[in-house]
Amino acid sequence: MHGLIFFYIQKFADSAAAGATSWSKLRSTVTTNHGKYLPSGVYPDADAVHLLDSIAQSAHESLPTIVERFGEFLAPHLIKVAGRHIEPDWTALDLIEHTEAIIHAMVRATNPGARPPVLDTVRQTPHELTLLYSSERKLCGLARGIIRGIARYYGEELSLEETSCMHQGAPFCTLVVTRGERDTHERSSPLNETMEYQGSLSSSAAMRSDPMSTWEGSVLPERIGVYAIVGDIGRGGMGRVYLGRDAQLQRDVAIKVMHSHRAGNQSARQRFLKESQATASVDHPHIVTIHQVGEHDGLPYIVMQRLQGVTLQEYREGVGRMPLPESLRIAREIATGLAAAHARNLIHRDIKPGNIFLEGSERRVKIIDFGLALDAADSNTKITTDGSIVGTPAYMSPERVNEQTIDAQSDIFSLGVILYEMLSGQLPFEGDSLVKTLMAIARGGARSVHTISPDVPEAVSGLVMRLIAHDKADRPASAAAVADMIATLEKSLSDPRNS
């Protein structure tokens, strides 16, 4: 275990002793094989457990209670230590969502062989996320305590619901974290308040004088490379997207800049650059165009075409279940875009409605965000990166859930889920928790689209069910073949003789 944890265990013991006389003799009772623990060192897990158990015995508390209490104590200290990896405008949920990336960046910087816990998250809404905790140490109580400590530090009300636990035989712990209804965005981040008190970010002029602060805060940078920044488009897990202006060609562009806390993680940085290289290598009308790749103030960025329109997710939320002709046309265009990527040995791995952009009034498909793209030639690539699940669970293929080798068939499965959802208004594999969703995908056996929506022709329903077949050998051979099958169906359905 990393020495930083031992450093704060000792501070925790001191702080507890100051407030509870029953712990006054704690330091003499806590003895291990090491005389002292350095924050930069690495020590046996058993030592940490022994220290916390000694604290528990002195306090007449159970070990799980002390572990969780230590997590609450630890949270604000870790936030301060990790300050440069945390964006000032984050809420508590934002920080929890990115905790694993921060831990990996900090720990692996000094100890490349470390095995920090997996803390994977899915953000359902701005007010709720699901967190998976997995570690052979089984210190899920520490994770719960850290979450509560983060909430207290940010002055927010977070509720926790544990829906599975390793201590009860589950393969991982699942925590549903929900924020209270009050608007936390109306107040400043505690990080902002601290920095303003210290005078380091007291004005926008001060932020302009520090390029890195500009990238991390709410004030826009003046320029990124040769592009003038004129607006803020949004942000995702990997980076922030700005609206830029190309003065030479007189056109607007979208500039995706990697988050600084991500850029410090070498594997995440390489994955971000891989997105740009992968996407730029494919020239296709249904894949977003990359104009340039660069680096500014130590952060990688990608310059892309500026798209006007909505994502398929936004469109579906507005219209609900979609008409058959439009659903087939969108699916065909996704398939032709994927075929072009697969021809370059590139697999997207996160095909979902949020990564399908519908451009203009014609709602022409553009596949975006190749942030999880991989080279299909790398046959050893699995579902995990440092042991964590990547992608969006509802659209994952069974082979990704079961940690099998990923190939183009995984993208085809995800396309099938999208088409199923457009035609029926439902997902083929659902659960009331992240774990149950993953289990449903792993089991397979979805109801046919025609059963849910009888107006969907059986031929169309049959193709959809082939796309989401549990065994990838039962799916169509390629995305190009899928595009041809859909085109054949469209032609058949448009023939008056088949009406």
CATH number of the domain at 317, please: 1.10.510.10
Is the separation of the CB atoms in 257 and 301 below 8 Å? yes
SS3 233: strand
Whether 283 is catalytic: no
Domain boundary among 61, 79, 97: 61
**Is 399 in the same domain as 268?**
no
CA angle 83, 87, 93 (to 5 degrees): 100
Tokens in use for 346?
A: 């590139």
Residues with Cβ within 8 Å of 260's Cβ and at least 6 positions away in sequence, in order, are 84, 85, 87, 212, 215, 216, 298, 299
Q: Are 462 and 370 in contact (CB under 8 A)?
A: no
Half-sphere exposure of residue 247, counting CA atoms within 13 Å on the CB side? 8
Whether 499 maps to a domain, the answer reads no
Tell me which residue range forms the domain holding 269: 220-305
* 456 in the same domain as 380: yes
CA 143, distance to chain mean position in Å, is: 18
Mean pLDDT confidence for 161-182? 82
* 30 close to 12: Cβ distance less than 8 angstroms: no
Assign 475 a pLDDT band (cuts: 50, 70, 90): very high
Task: Give the mean pLDDT of 342-357.
Answer: 89
| Window from 101-110, 181-190, 269-278 with minimum mean pLDDT | 181-190
pLDDT computed for residue 469 by the predictor: 93
Within a domain: 351 = yes
Name the least confident of 42-46, 62-66, 447-451. Answer: 42-46
Residues 364 and 477 in one domain: yes
149: nearest Cα among 228, 94, 75, 52: 75
* Within a domain: 498: no
Tell me the average pLDDT across 216-234.
Answer: 81
Q: For residue 267, what is the DSSP state?
A: H
313-319 own/partner pairs: CB under 8 Å, 24+ apart: 313/352, 313/353, 313/354, 313/356, 315/358, 315/363, 316/353, 316/421, 316/422
Q: What is the pLDDT of residue 396?
A: 85
> What are the angstrom distances between the C-alpha of 453 and each of 12, 86, 290, 423, 456?
59, 46, 39, 8, 6
CATH of the domain at 260: 3.30.200.20
- Of the pLDDT bands very low, low, confident and very high (cuts 50, 70, 90), residue 316 is very high
pLDDT greater than 80 at residue 114: no
Q: Do 2 and 18 reside in the same domain of the chain? A: yes
Residue 193 placed within a domain: no
Residue of 94, 120, 350, 407 marked catalytic: 350
Average pLDDT over residues 415-437: 87
The dihedral over CA atoms of 268, 272, 275, 280, expressed in degrees to the nearest 10, equals -150
